[in-house]
């Protein structure tokens, strides 16, 4: 099974690669459009600003590749946000694989970014969340949130509720860092790797 991790040079690629290695998965870190298009699954990690990340995606010729990709695709943290149509952050245009606009957290009297462990609330059963329960804690680092909607598989809360895990067709996302979320995060990565191509 070939797994490609998109190399954007922003954020958490090393920890994602290490998490895959711990699970015995041979993954390639690449920015090559042909290798990404040919992979059996793709992980899009990211930390940083949406507009900058999308400019890197465009510079590498990956926007159309990711939009056309039909196998399982997982966005992590900023990678989940890039799956949406747009973001308030830098007024970025996203990949448009999920409907809606990413916006800044509105949390009075709370520190932004939201950084730390928060509980998941399962909204809809899915193979991606097999073995994961409401109340399980995962590790977040983010200032922007994805809207609740039909794609929401699990939510979390930091001043307000938001989509913590999303899924629609072959497209999935985790707003948190599964590679830093202990056994729960490892289970979600394993589940993603087991999804049918």
Kindly report the CATH number assigned to the domain that includes residue 111.
Answer: 3.40.50.880
In terms of residue numbers, what domain contains 37?
Answer: 3-194
| Predicted local distance difference test score (pLDDT) of residue 11 | 66
The Cα 135–Cα 13 span in angstroms is 27
| Predicted local distance difference test score (pLDDT) of residue 153 | 98
pTM of the model: 0.96
The Cα 75–Cα 86 span in angstroms is 15
| Predicted local distance difference test score (pLDDT) of residue 103 | 97
The Cα 123–Cα 104 span in angstroms is 22
Number of structural domains (the chain) is 1
Strands 161-168 and 152-157 turn out to be antiparallel
The Cα 177–Cα 40 span in angstroms is 22
Query: Can you spell out the DSSP letters for the chain?
Result: --EEEE--SSS-HHHHHHHHHHTT--EEEE--HHHHHH-SEEEE---S-HHHHHHHHHHTT-HHHHHH--S-EEEETHHHHTTEEEETGGGEE---SEEEEEEE---TTS-SSEEEEEE-EE-S--GGGTT--TT-EEEEEESEEPPPSTTEEEEEESSSEEEEEEEETTEEEESS-GGGSHHHHHHHHHHHHHS--
* Phi, psi angles (nearest 5°) of residue 138: -135, 165
Please list the active-site residues.
77, 177, 179
- Contact predicate 81/66, CB 8 Å: no
The dihedral of CA 102, 103, 104, 108: what is its sign? negative
| Predicted local distance difference test score (pLDDT) of residue 46 | 84
| Predicted local distance difference test score (pLDDT) of residue 8 | 86
Mean pLDDT per 10-residue segment, the chain (197 residues): 85 86 92 97 91 95 98 97 96 97 91 96 98 98 97 96 98 97 97 94
Edge-first strand listing for the sheet containing 92-93 = 92-93, 84-87, 98-104, 144-145
């Amino acid at each position: 099974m070939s797994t490609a991790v998109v190399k954007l040079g922003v954020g958490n690629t090393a920890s994602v690669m290490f998490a895959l290695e711990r699970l015995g998965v041979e993954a390639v870190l690449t920015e090559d459009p042909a290798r990404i298009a040919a992979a059996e699954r793709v992980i899009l990690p990211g930390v940083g600003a949406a507009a900058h990340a999308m400019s890197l995606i465009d510079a590498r010729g990956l926007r159309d590749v990711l939009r056309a990709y039909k196998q399982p695709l997982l966005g992590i943290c900023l990678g989940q946000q890039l799956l949406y149509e747009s973001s308030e952050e830098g007024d970025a245009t996203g990949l448009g694989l999920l409907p809606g606009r990413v916006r800044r957290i509105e949390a009075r009297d709370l520190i932004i970014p939201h950084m730390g462990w928060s509980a998941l609330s399962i909204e809809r059963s899915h193979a991606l969340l097999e073995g994961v329960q409401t109340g399980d804690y995962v590790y977040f680092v983010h200032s922007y949130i994805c809207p609740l909607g039909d794609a929401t598989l699990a939510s979390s809360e930091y001043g307000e509720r938001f989509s913590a895990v999303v899924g629609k067709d072959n497209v999935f996302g985790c707003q948190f860092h599964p590679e830093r979320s202990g056994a729960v995060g490892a289970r979600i990565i394993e589940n993603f790797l087991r999804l049918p191509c």
